[in-house]
Every structure is written in C-alpha cells, then in structure tokens.
Amino acid sequence: MAPTDRPTSPSPADLAAVASQLGRPPRSIAAVAHRCPCGLPDVVETRPRLSDGTPFPTLYYLTCPKATSLIGTLEASGLMRRMTERLEEDEELAAGHRAAHEHYLARRRELSDVPEIVDVSAGGMPTRVKCLHVLVAHALAAGPGVNPLGDEALGRLDEWWADGFCVDPAEGTE
C-alpha cells in the first residue's frame, strides 16, 4: 500500500464514509491521509484543535472498522507491552520511534500550532507504545520506513480490505 502523495481534502462522500465507519459524525477532519486499497478513506488527519477549541493531539486517526478490529486483537495479545520492552533494549528501534514522534509533530505543526500539545504526539511516542491504532494510522499516512513500530504492526494485519468494503460507499450520499 502506498501512502497518499499528500493528504487530500475530504469530499462529501469521504465524510459520509468516515461517519459510517465511525458510527458518528467525524470531528474536525483536515484531510484524507490514506485510502484503503478499496478506495475508501482509512486514515484521516484531524485538526490539532477541534472546532469546539479542544486541543487534539491525535493527528492521524484510523477509521476503517475492519482494520481497527484487527489492531484491537493485536493490542489484546500483549504486543504493545512487548514493543515497549524492545524500545528499552534496542537503541536503533528507540531512535526510529523518536524520529517517528518528530515526524508526527512536524506534520501537525504544518496544520496548526497548538501550544497546549506542542511536544505531545500520540500512541505513546516517543518512549513507549500506548496505542497501535495511532502508530498504524501514522505508518499508513506517512508510508513505509517512517514509523517502525507502526510498520511492524501493519505487517501483522491480514489484508482487511480483501473481502470488500467495510461500509457501503454509497451510504449517506445523494
């Protein structure tokens, strides 16, 4: 899967698909950061400050329910704990995880400077693994080699898109 060259503005159909994926209206979507091979958004960029003024550090948000379910299974397996332990033992991996944190912050700053979250990324970066959903979303949006633990978790997923759309792509459109 290749990342989107640059995030694209969401169309009304994209917003409807994301709302269907999430089961609620999406909040403060800045862009579609990655599309599933089926063509639907699977990662969106959320503005660093929500429309109600709340600072929101989670820039990359995984929306596909098939992918999120599989990642939930990985999280339940204890993978995050093992990854955090590896960060303590493997300096090269830890350096890659810190670099992913810096990449994440740099992209968020391109959208907006929010002083309350200036050094806060997401997913436990830069020192631990707290949420694989965020790391995978970042890996999909940024492309291979940017978020090593996101790439690793992504590599453990089956081809979630292979058996069809996660939601009806026509749902919510006129």
> CA 52, CA 58: separation in Å to the nearest integer?
15
Q: How many CB atoms lie within 10 A of CB 69?
A: 11
Q: What ranges do the domains of the chain cover?
A: 12-155
> CA 130, CA 133: separation in Å to the nearest integer?
9
pLDDT above 70 (res 61): yes
Q: How many CB atoms lie within 10 A of CB 120?
A: 15
Q: How many residues in the chain?
A: 174
pLDDT above 70 (res 13): yes
Q: Calculate the average pLDDT of the chain.
A: 91
> CA 75, CA 108: separation in Å to the nearest integer?
25
| Residue 8 identity | T
Q: How many CB atoms lie within 10 A of CB 88?
A: 11
Partners of 8 in the β-ladder: 32
Give the least confident one: 6-10, 61-65, 73-77, 146-150.
Answer: 6-10
pLDDT 10s digits, 126-159: 999 999 999 999 999 999 999 999 999 999 998 8
What's residue 167's pLDDT? 83
pLDDT above 70 (res 110): yes
Q: Which of 7, 66, 64 is nearest to 40 (CA)?
A: 64
Confidence of residue 168 (pLDDT cuts 50, 70, 90): confident
pLDDT above 50 (res 163): yes
